[in-house]
Amino acid sequence: MKERKKQYFHPIEVTLDVVCGKWKGVILCLLQEKDYRFGELKDQLFSVTPKVLTQQLRELEEDGLITRTVYPQVPPKVVYSLTPYGKDLEDTLRMMEKWGQSHQQKVGDNFNEEVSEAELS
């Protein structure tokens, strides 16, 4: 899977190592609000494939941020929720969210300008 045995020079690398996956940030933000089932997450994330979603969730689980609860029934039901360590990230995530909003606004003009696809020649 994902090897995480490296030596860190700085504590922030630990956090980044754990949070830097294509969908992990959003997943963690969603789970701050409430627990989610696998399919609900898939719907929220819209364009994620089940394989990749499973990967991201497994890694978050291995890193101790979320728990996976299986309800033995048909059809199956699996609920993902935050561990205390995952909840400890809430304030951090909110700050990242805020910064992202303001930064996107700043760069937002650039993004909007290239909405027209007739750009490259």
Partner DNA sequence: CTGTATCCGGGCCGATACTG
Partner DNA sequence: CAGTATCGGCCCGGATACAG
Helix axes 50-62, 24-33, angle to 10 degrees: 70
DSSP 59-114: HHHHTTSEEEEEE-SSS-EEEEEE-HHHHTTHHHHHHHHHHHHHHHHHHHHHHHHT
Q: C-alpha angle with apex 92: 87 to 96, nearest 5 degrees?
A: 130
Does 79 help bind a second copy (rule: CB under 8 A)?
no
Q: Which does 2 bind (CB under 5 to 8 A by kind): DNA, a second copy, none?
A: DNA
Instruction: Name residues contacting DNA, limited to 44-103 (CB under 7 A).
Output: 47-52, 54-57, 68, 70, 75-78
Task: Give the interface with DNA as residue ranges (CB under 7 A).
Answer: 1-3, 21-23, 37-40, 47-52, 54-57, 68, 70, 75-78
Task: Give the interface with a second copy as residue ranges (CB under 8 A).
Answer: 5, 8-16, 18-20, 25-26, 29, 45-46, 63-64, 85, 88-89, 91-93, 95-104, 106-107, 111, 114
